[in-house]
Amino acid sequence: MWVSHETIYQSLYVQGRGALRRDLTVCLRTGRTLRRPRRRPGERRERIKDMVNIAERPPEVDDRQVPGHWEGDLIVGANNGSAIGTLVERSSGFVILLHLPDSHGATQVADQMITQMSRLPDLLRKTVTWDQGIEMSDHARISLATDLDIYFCDPHSPWQRGSNENTNGLLRQYFPKGTDLSGYHPDYLDYVAAQLNDRPRKRHNWQTPREVLTTLLDNPTPPNCCHHHLNPPHFGGASLNSCWPPVDSPPSDAKSTPWSSWEPLRGAFAISWHLSPHGPAALSDGRVPPRSR
């Protein structure tokens, strides 16, 4: 029979009485006769410094009528050893993916957040709602660099970022659970995001998130080119195609691996591609993008 350490302590501190209790507790290294909790009743230690709770988030976020409010999270791979960051705009469902090939710690997540969110116009950078994952420990640097207000959900409350949770479920068609997520090429992440952004949604009367978000933007002006990955400039206007162009097929040219060596399509990937709106066209040569960095 296996007995947990908690059961042993309960036997010593609670069930022991009189001389028996004294004889038992003297055998403990600390010699304590009473087990004291390390925190006061009702106290919860914050894992992240200077968190701002979701209760302080502006009321306009709940209405989903004003663009620029995002929900974020990580989808993790096998044994929590790899991850991909996900960001979803609440009013439209527009998706941005964060490439985290080496680590999904606070520094790497902050760097990717700053890079990707800096590509957006100021109108689309208002708030981000995240859970209390330790990967957001560097939230102050993100806020300073992007002018975003970051709010944190209550513990164990995924419904407070429902749009993001639903989107993560869709993304699992492309990034199955229990697999290594560190090897996906950033071009493939862009392709998957484009698949979801160009997918008609019933809640938008069968418009795509890209179309909805473009409609919500006021005073359109031609955006500057922001493909430069080292210093993406800010731009204003309604068109998102300059930064996140529609993609109807996987990338035709890999940065480090030729098309001929890409992995054959099989298993869960075959299912996800068949379910996607542009799946059959993308299957013409039976290959998937490379799993290289």
Q: What percent of the chain has pLDDT over 90?
A: 53
pLDDT band, residue 114 (cuts 50/70/90)? very high
pLDDT band at 239 (very low <50, low <70, confident <90, very high): low
Q: What is the pLDDT of residue 125?
A: 94
CATH superfamily of the 54-282 domain: Ribonuclease H-like superfamily/Ribonuclease H (3.30.420.10)
> According to the model, what pLDDT value does residue 216 have?
82
DSSP, collapsed to helix, strand or coil, labels residue 53 as strand
Question: Mean of the pLDDT values across residues 189-195?
Answer: 94
| Confidence tier at 4 by pLDDT (50, 70, 90) | confident
Identify which of 157, 161, 193 has the alpha carbon closest to the alpha carbon of residue 175.
193
pLDDT of 288 reads: 46
Across 31-37, average pLDDT: 61
**Could you report the per-residue pLDDT of 78-90, keeping only the tens digit for each?**
999 999 999 999 9
pLDDT value of position 282: 37
**Per-residue model confidence (pLDDT) at position 290:** 43
Better-scored residue on pLDDT, 283 or 100: 100
The per-residue pLDDT for 93 is: 95
102 in the Ramachandran plot: left (φ > 0), alpha (ψ -120 to 50) or beta? alpha
Decide if 63 contacts 49 (C-beta within 8 A). no
Between 260 and 14, whose confidence is greater? Answer: 14
pLDDT digits (tens, 9 = 90+) for 121-172: 888 999 999 999 999 999 999 999 999 999 999 999 999 999 999 999 999 9
Q: What are the structural domain ranges in the chain?
A: 1-35, 54-282
69 closest CA partner among 169, 149, 138: 149
Note the pLDDT of residue 7. 76
Cross-strand bridge partners of residue 89: 70
Residue 112's alpha-carbon distances to 83, 134, 207, in angstroms, are 12, 15, 29
pLDDT on residue 37: 61
What's the rounded mean pLDDT across residues 28-33?
64
Q: Which residue has the higher pLDDT, 271 or 223?
A: 223
Higher-confidence position of 25 and 285: 25
